[in-house]
């Protein structure tokens, strides 16, 4: 369910600039800021049951971090249902919206960290594969005031694991990849940020994220501080400059 890019914005910077200092933190939604992966799992189970099947654990893992249409396609194939992706997406979003409105909760430490980031004068963005209809439900709890921009899966031409959502977020913030840090929980989201040349703090949720370049791991956001995020960002910047110099290239800003 992709379409024209129409990211919701509260403010933008007109000047694109390069900086090594951390200027913004880009957050994934499901499993990162909110404890929603289990709610998505419940929704998928309900839809599969209505269609006469049961989603296998392996297929459930494959849906984590994916766009809704792709996740629905995986489910329909897994249970052998003949319903269309479009009608099943509509059913899934209806059920999930009802569950979100009643049961959605912050992940431990996430609310406090975002408030500290904004109090420190840094920008924040929400970058998610979830559709706008569900993001708006989540924002009733999260608060629109906590994000300068929101990027939703049905408002961009390509979704994670493609880097486009993160590239679009930095563009709208008036920043480059060198000035931001992403926070993710899934393999697809982590890959999207890494491919956008954005360093990633990974807080794994339901599905393990493999080790690899451009990422550092934390068990949760509980107790995380802005100073720690700045330190992580500086270390990634130093590593990037050293890599560029070893490769004989001019270092990034």
Q: Which residues are catalytic?
A: 28
Q: In the block, which residue shows the tokens 């024209």?
A: 4
The encoded tokens of residue 57 equal 């654990």
> Do the beta carbons of residue 122 and residue 147 sit within 8 Å?
no
3-state helix, strand, coil in the chain (%, to 5): 50, 10, 40
Cis check: omega of the bond before 161, within 30 degrees of 0: yes
The closest alpha carbon to 134, from 112, 162, 101, 111, belongs to 101
Instruction: Name 250's Cβ contacts closer than 8 Å, sequence gap at least 6.
Output: 244
């Amino acid at each position: 369910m992709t379409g024209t890019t129409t990211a919701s914005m509260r403010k933008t910077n007109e000047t694109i600039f390069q900086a090594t200092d951390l200027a913004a933190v880009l957050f994934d939604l499901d499993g990162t800021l909110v404890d929603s992966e289990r709610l998505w799992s419940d929704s998928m189970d309900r839809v599969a049951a209505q269609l006469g099947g049961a989603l296998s654990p392996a297929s459930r893992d494959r849906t984590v971090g994916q766009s809704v249409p792709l996740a629905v396609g995986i489910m329909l194939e897994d249970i052998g249902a003949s319903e269309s992706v479009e009608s099943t997406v509509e059913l899934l979003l209806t059920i999930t919206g009802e569950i979100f409105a009643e049961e959605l909760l912050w992940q431990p430490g996430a609310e406090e960290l975002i408030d500290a980031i904004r109090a420190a004068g840094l920008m924040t963005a929400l970058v998610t594969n979830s559709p706008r209809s569900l993001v708006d439900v989540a924002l009733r709890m999260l608060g629109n005031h906590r994000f300068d921009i929101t990027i939703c899966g049905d408002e961009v031409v390509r979704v994670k694991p493609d880097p486009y959502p993160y590239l679009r977020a930095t563009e709208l913030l008036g920043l480059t990849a060198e000035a931001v840090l992403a926070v993710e929980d899934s393999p697809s989201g982590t890959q999207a940020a890494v491919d956008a040349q954005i360093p990633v703090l990974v807080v794994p949720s339901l599905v393990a994220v493999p080790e690899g370049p451009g990422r550092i791991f934390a068990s949760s956001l509980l107790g995380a501080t802005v100073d720690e995020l700045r330190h992580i960002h500086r270390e990634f910047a130093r590593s990037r400059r050293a890599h560029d110099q070893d490769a004989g290239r001019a270092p990034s800003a």
